Amino acid sequence: MSHSSDVTRHGNSLSTYKGYVIGFILAVILTIIPFWLVMGEVFTSIDLTVIAIMGLGAVQVIVHMVYFLHMNRKSEGGWTLMALLFTIMILVIAISGSMWVMYNLNTNMMPSMMIHEIK
């Protein structure tokens, strides 16, 4: 097998070693940044920190889909675009549902369960 057939075997030039390395580096960077945002207390607003972390998480999902799952508009006759849209839909449902549940738990927590009143 020649090198050119290895590169285009998956219909994507990102199927090379270089593509995997780029994807790995991006994934590591997109993991370190949220850790730094929280540990360094970069933003004074917790809400802004949460929004930034969720945005970086969504970008990391896309990086994994492109660099590791080799999903683009051209491969698999466009079916990967449908998979991307489905993933985005599931991601929005999971994030919004989690935020809704956490907000309601925080709002409806019983006063006797508050940590500062237990002392």
For the chain, which residues make up each domain, given as ranges? Answer: 3-118
The 3-state DSSP class for residue 70 equals coil
Residue 117's pLDDT is what?
Answer: 54
* pLDDT at residue 12 greater than cutoff 70: no
Which pLDDT score is estimated for 34?
95
pLDDT above 70: percentage of residues in the chain:
74
* pLDDT range class, residue 115, cuts 50, 70, 90: low
Confidence (pLDDT) at 110: 65
State mean pLDDT over 37-56. 92
C-alpha–C-alpha distance, residues 23 and 9, integer Å:
18
Exposed/middle/buried for residue 83 (C-beta within 10 Å: 0-12, 13-18, 19+): middle
- Mean of pLDDT over the chain: 80
Q: Is the pLDDT of residue 68 over 60?
A: yes
